[in-house]
Every structure is written in structure tokens, then in C-alpha cells.
């Protein structure tokens, strides 16, 4: 093909991209103990993820011992969990533990299939897909590819990216993955795919079926304390250039930070607050250092003045001696010089006769070194934590010290992690035949149906326990779930609602440290949580 031809540049570009595709495999790490050490260095906890990676290494090692060549087949792993629990960062650690090259790309909001499978060369500005670019950048045929935010795939006029990922993430098909730009099959069977998602229910079922899901739960307070002390604080202190002997953040301060400022499933917000504390400490140390420099300059200036006095006195004394050897000197000037030299000699003798002067100069030098090496240790504890991060954002969710009748604490689930909520029931009016139930709290349809089921079941239980109690038949009830501005839905509050209704009907309060969750049926069965 001649250079003048229309398709010369396009064909040349595709051939260059095809030539850049690697064929060799990077040497992998089959040392289970070494991989365990690397994973533990980077992350605390995450036992299921670490165990799965070690299993992956062990299988590759045993397969190599039986087949003569150690290698690890490609797999598709999906890490699901709330934001900030370390899903993306654990991908880098896995790549380091396996001694594989790392490549990450996010598919959140992706609507164009060509981003994955490439453009046809007939289009102007055509480019290969992400996987071709990945192999070109890493230079090996067995990298670790992290597909971030796979639960946030979009869908537009250019096709469905989730469907395009089916071929990419299918172990039976990705050995011959076809990129539209190259139009040549690419072997992706040696690639280890790690996907991340917050809510796996948002992933299409055909795509989810191809992945091995590992759930990463939110961290409890004890785990956050370990992470903050052993990982976050150390890294932040080094990033701010602060020495360990210059600052001390107590366990009480970290605990207050976790409970009152960073109530989350992960540790991302906790890291931001620790960085905020160390930035303020760095500013304090720099300001203190500036004042120390001023103090040091004053000491140096004072020392120089003392040395100048000694030098001047010695010069005056030597000058008077040289002038006394002269033969022709005016008598009046001679008397004046004799007087000045006598004064200088007296000052010099007084200064030199004072044995404390050398000691004073030595002490002054010691003061200089003390000021220079002076390190003031900053202590951050629960008493001054608010000076660094402001007033507490969160307070205790316990509204009642002793829950009254009709009030029960329930357990809720959100994408950010677990939380608690109260179910409150009170009677509006009472009269024969006025039994009814009014529901508020911005509840969804499923939760409203769950409240009706709980009301029916509570009437049946009360009729069985206290046949002569006509409470539900003659009382209009109002059931409310606080935080009315927050939408709520799901059947798992049925058990809590039923307990709240029975507590009001039987005039018996529930224990203040008791919380519950679970779907309830009309026959009184408690089902596993589902929302």
C-alpha cells in the first residue's frame, strides 16, 4: 500500500497497535507466605479476600508441579461492599502480592460500547478498546485488571456496555476476545479481573453470574482503631513530614474521632479527619519553629556584642602599647591617649578577669543548640480534639434512656452500612369499634404492607395471650418511624413493628439495649432480613 492511499495511516496505526500486544507472561509469585505478608502490610482484616488470593496462588503452584509449568489461570472476582472499605486499594495489593502488573479503569457511567470493544476503523478518530490499551501499557499478557464501579454501568444509544462485558468476563470466551479496531482475536485468558461494586443488586444477572462475589463488610470500631493506628496515622504523619517524637495522638482521641465524627462503614472519612489533624499540627510546629528562630537570632546577636567588646578592648590595649614606644608625641594628646588606654585596659582586665565570661559564652552556645534542637511534643487527646476537627458531627442514636411503651429500636441497612432506627406507636383515640392503624415516616409500599401484617399478627397474639383485652378492636393507633425526611422501605421491620404494637397493647416496655430486625409472616414466622 502506498503512502498516498486513503487508508494507509489507519492500516499502519492498527498494525502498530497489533504489534505492540505482548505475548510473554510476567513471572508470578508462588510464595504463599510472602504474599500473605504483603497483603497484611497493606490492609488490616479482609480475611476472605486474602484467603481467596492465597488459594489462587496455591492452585497455580500445585498445577505447575503436576504440569511442569507454574501459571495461574485468569479469574473474575467481584469485591462488593460500602464505600471506603478498601476495595480499590486491595486490588493494588493483590497485584503486588502476585507480582503482576496493575491496570485500572472505571466503568461508572459508561454508555459507549466502543470504550470496551473499540471503534471500527472506518470512523474518524477510531481507537482500540480498553483491554487493547491495557495490554499495550503493561507490556505483559497476564496483568491484573481492576474494573471499578461495575454496578454503575450506564446504558445509552450506543449500546449496552453491560452486555459488552459479558464476552470480556466470561472465562470460556475471553481467550478469543475480538476488538473491533484490530479485528483480531486477543487472548485474555491469563488476565486476572477484579471488579468492585457497592450494591451487587445493581449488576445485571448474566454479568453477575460470571463473577465470584466476595462481600467486604464495614469495619467495626475495634478494626477502625487498628487501621487508624497502624496504617492511616503512620502514613499521614510521614506525608506531613512530622517526626514521631513531635506528636502523640491518644487512643481516646482516635475513639472519639471514630464515634463522633466518622460514623461510616469504611475509613475514608476517618483518613480525611486524621489528615486534618496533622495539617494543623504541622502549622503549629512551623509557627513554633519561626518563634524559635527569632529567639535564636537574639541569642546570637547578644553573643556577638560580647565578643565585639572583648575585641575592641584588646585592640585599644595593643594600640596604647605601640604608641608609648614613639619618640615625638604631643603632650596633650599623649595624656588623652594614656587615659583612654588606661580605660581600655581596665575594661579588658575586668572582662578577662571575670572567669564567668567563657562560661557565659559556652552557655549561650548551649542555648543556641537548645533552641535549634528544641522539639515540642503535641498531644492530641479527647479534651482538645475539637480544636483540630471542630464540634462533633454525630451524637448517640439512643434517644431514650429508658424506652417507653410502644417504642422499639430496629436495625436498618443502607449502602453506607448498618444503622439503627426507632419504631414508635401511640394511641390516638379509643372507643368501641374505632380500631385502626395510621402510618407515617415516608415508608415505601413494601414497608406499609409489612406494617399491616404486623398489626394483624399483633391482634392475633394479643387475642391468644389476653382474650379479654379489646385494645386493638377499640383503639386507633399511630405508628411512626422517625427521620421522616429519609425514605424507608423493605420488609425487615415487620418484627420490630409487631413488638412495638404489642408493647403498647400490653403496657410493657421493651429493654432499652434490645434491637431487632426480620420479616414477619401472618402465621408468626420470622424470616431472614431482606431490606
DSSP string, 329-345: --HHHHHHHHHHHHHHH
- Residues β-bridged to residue 378: 247
pLDDT digits (tens, 9 = 90+) for 180-216: 777 788 888 888 899 999 988 889 898 888 888 988 8
pLDDT digits (tens, 9 = 90+) for 233-258: 999 999 998 888 889 999 999 999 99
When the pLDDT of each residue in the chain is averaged and rounded to a whole number, the result is 79
Q: What percent of the chain shows pLDDT beyond 70?
A: 75
Question: Is 345 a residue whose pLDDT tops 90?
Answer: no
Which cell numbers in the block locate residue 316? 585599644
pLDDT at 331: 45
CA–CA gap between residue 32 and residue 240 (Å, rounded): 34
> What is the sign, positive or negative, of the torsion defined by CA atoms of 287, 288, 292, 294?
positive
Domains in the chain: boundaries: 8-215, 221-283, 289-322+337-389, 407-527
CATH, range 407-527: 3.30.230.10
Nearest to 163 by CA among 116, 106, 212: 116
Length of the chain: 531
Nearest to 136 by CA among 17, 9, 25: 17
Overall CATH class of domain 221-283: mainly alpha
Distances (CA, A) of 104 to 101, 192, 451: 10, 12, 46
Pairing mode of beta strands 519-520, 475-480 = unpaired
Phi/psi at 498 (nearest 5 deg)?
-60, -40
Q: Which residue has the higher pLDDT, 257 or 318?
A: 257
Q: Per-residue pLDDT averaged across 3-7, rounded?
A: 59
Nearest to 194 by CA among 91, 99, 93, 101: 91
Mapping DSSP to helix (H, G, I), strand (E, B) and coil, where does residue 275 land? helix
- Kind and range of the H or E element at 235? helix 233-239
Which range is least confidently modeled, 156-170, 241-255, 475-489?
A: 156-170
The CA radius of gyration of the chain, in Å to the nearest whole number, is: 39
CA–CA gap between residue 432 and residue 283 (Å, rounded): 72
pLDDT at 312: 58
Q: Does domain 8-215 have CATH number 3.40.50.300?
A: yes
Which range is least confidently modeled, 52-66, 331-345, 367-381, 450-464?
A: 331-345
Amino acid at each position: 500500500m502506498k503512502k498516498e492511499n486513503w487508508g494507509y495511516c489507519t492500516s499502519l496505526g492498527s498494525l502498530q497497535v497489533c504489534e505492540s500486544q505482548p505475548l510473554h507472561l510476567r513471572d508470578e509469585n508462588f510464595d504463599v507466605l510472602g504474599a500473605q505478608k504483603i497483603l497484611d502490610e497493606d490492609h488490616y482484616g479482609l480475611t476472605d479476600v486474602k484467603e481467596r488470593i492465597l488459594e489462587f496462588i496455591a492452585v497455580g503452584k500445585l498445577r505447575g508441579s503436576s504440569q511442569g509449568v507454574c501459571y495461574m489461570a485468569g479469574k473474575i472476582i467481584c469485591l462488593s461492599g460500602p464505600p471506603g472499605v478498601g476495595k480499590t486499594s486491595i486490588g493494588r495489593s493483590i497485584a503486588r502480592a502476585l507480582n503482576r502488573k496493575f491496570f485500572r479503569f472505571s466503568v461508572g457511567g459508561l454508555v459507549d460500547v466502543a470504550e470496551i470493544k473499540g471503534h471500527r476503523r472506518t470512523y474518524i478518530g477510531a481507537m482500540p478498546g480498553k483491554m487493547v490499551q491495557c495490554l499495550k501499557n503493561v507490556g505483559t499478557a497476564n496483568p491484573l485488571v481492576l474494573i471499578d464501579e461495575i454496578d454503575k454501568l450506564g446504558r445509552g444509544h450506543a449500546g449496552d456496555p453491560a452486555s459488552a462485558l459479558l464476552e470480556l468476563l466470561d472465562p470460556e470466551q475471553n481467550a478469543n476476545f475480538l476488538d473491533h479496531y484490530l479485528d483480531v482475536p486477543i487472548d485474555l485468558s491469563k488476565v486476572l479481573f477484579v471488579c468492585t461494586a457497592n450494591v451487587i443488586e445493581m449488576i445485571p444477572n448474566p454479568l453477575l453470574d460470571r463473577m465470584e462475589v466476595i462481600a467486604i463488610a464495614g469495619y467495626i470500631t475495634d478494626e477502625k482503631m487498628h487501621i487508624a493506628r497502624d496504617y492511616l496515622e503512620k502514613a499521614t504523619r510521614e506525608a506531613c513530614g512530622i517526626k514521631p517524637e513531635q506528636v502523640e495522638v491518644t487512643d481516646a482521641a482516635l475513639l472519639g474521632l471514630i464515634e463522633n465524627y466518622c460514623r461510616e462503614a469504611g475509613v475514608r472519612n476517618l483518613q480525611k479527619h486524621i489528615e486534618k489533624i496533622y495539617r494543623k499540627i504541622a502549622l503549629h510546629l512551623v509557627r513554633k519553629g519561626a518563634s524559635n528562630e527569632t529567639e535564636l537570632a537574639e541569642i546570637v546577636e547578644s553573643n556577638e556584642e560580647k565578643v565585639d567588646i572583648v575585641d575592641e578592648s584588646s585592640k585599644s590595649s595593643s594600640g596604647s602599647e605601640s604608641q608609648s614606644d614613639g619618640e615625638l608625641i604631643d603632650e596633650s594628646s599623649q595624656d588623652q591617649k594614656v587615659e583612654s588606654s588606661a580605660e581600655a585596659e581596665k575594661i579588658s582586665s575586668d572582662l578577662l578577669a571575670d572567669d564567668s565570661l567563657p562560661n557565659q559564652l559556652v552557655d549561650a552556645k548551649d542555648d543556641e543548640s537548645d533552641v535549634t534542637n528544641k522539639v515540642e511534643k503535641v498531644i492530641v487527646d479527647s479534651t482538645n480534639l475539637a480544636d483540630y476537627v471542630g464540634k462533633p458531627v454525630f451524637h448517640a442514636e439512643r434517644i431514650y434512656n429508658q424506652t417507653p411503651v410502644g417504642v422499639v429500636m430496629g436495625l436498618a441497612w443502607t449502602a453506607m452500612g448498618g444503622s439503627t432506627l426507632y419504631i414508635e406507636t401511640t394511641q390516638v383515640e379509643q372507643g368501641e369499634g374505632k380500631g385502626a392503624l395510621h402510618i407515617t415516616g415516608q415508608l415505601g409500599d413494601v414497608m406499609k404492607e409489612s406494617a399491616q401484617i404486623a398489626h394483624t399478627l399483633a391482634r392475633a397474639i394479643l387475642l391468644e395471650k389476653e382474650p379479654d383485652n379489646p385494645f386493638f378492636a377499640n383503639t386507633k393507633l399511630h405508628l411512626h418511624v422517625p427521620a421522616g425526611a429519609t425514605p424507608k422501605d423493605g420488609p425487615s421491620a415487620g418484627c420490630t413493628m409487631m413488638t412495638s404494637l404489642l408493647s403498647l397493647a400490653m403496657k410493657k416496655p421493651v429493654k432499652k439495649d434490645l434491637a431487632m430486625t426480620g420479616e414477619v409472616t401472618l402465621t408468626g414466622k420470622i424470616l431472614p432480613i431482606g431490606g
